[in-house]
Structures are given as C-alpha cells and as structure tokens.
Amino acid sequence: MKNIHCLLFLLIAITVQAQPARFKEKKEQIRALKTAYISTALSLTTEESVKFWPLYNAFEDKQRDIKLDKWKRYIDNTEGNLDELNTKEATALLTKMEMDEDLMYQNRKKFIQSLKEFLPAIKILKLKKAEDQFNQKLLQQFRNKKEH
C-alpha cells in the first residue's frame, strides 16, 4: 500500500511539472491517478466498480461544466475590475454564482442518492475522504514544485 502511494505521488509530481503544451495530457494523467487512488481507497468489488465509474465520471464531468460556466460568466462580467460593476450588475452576478453553487450541490446530492442504491454508506463516506485526500496531495505536490 505504501509503495502504491509513493508511486502515485511520484506520478503526480511528474504530471504537475509537465509543460503547459501538454495540459490535456496532464489532465488525463491526473484523472487516471485519481481513479487509481479512489479505487484503492474504496476497495470496490467488480460489480460495484461497473456501476460506480460511469456514474462518477458523469458526475465529475457535470461538476466541471458547471464550474467552467460559472467562471466564464464571472470573467465575462468582470473583464476589467469588480469596482466597475454597478450594484445591479454585481447583485445579478452574485445571484448567478449562488445558483451555480446550488446546482453543484444538487448534482452532488443526486449523485450520492444514486450511489446509495448499490454502495454501502461507509464506501460513500470513504469516497468523499479519498477525493479530499487526493486533492490535498495534488495541491501539496503543486506547492512543492513552486518552492523548488
């Protein structure tokens, strides 16, 4: 298990240090590493895995799309400076951002409900923990890279 984690972290470090031109490849590598990390953490059976991964990938894709739409809208509305927005524009943008956050929450809630149909609650909790740990380790690798 320790060897798997060491290998995983080494691969993350290599991935994070890749050139910007290879962004899509890095993204795919990170996704593969995340898949391996989650698979190990959840110890999914073959039957669970067959049901889990299509749901998880669709969930992740939807979350990514919502985030991209949110940030695109934010950037489009704040091209210059936030101080240039009037109160009405700022309120409208904030309302849209809140709606996007709610949409992300509802998407996660629906995803968890789907998981409850075939996964025990403990594995759903382990999923959240594994996602958080993976993201923390990825962020730490990025920080370590910036320091050197």
pLDDT at 20: 56
Cα–chain center distance at 134:
10
pLDDT at 146: 77
Q: Which residue has the tokens 């934010």?
A: 74
What sign for the dihedral angle of Cα 39, 42, 47, 53?
negative
Which residues of the chain are under the pLDDT cut of 50?
Answer: 1-3, 5-10, 18
pTM greater than the 0.95 cutoff: no
pLDDT tens sequence across 68-98: 988 887 777 666 577 788 899 889 888 988 9
The CA R_g of the chain, rounded to the nearest whole Å, is: 18
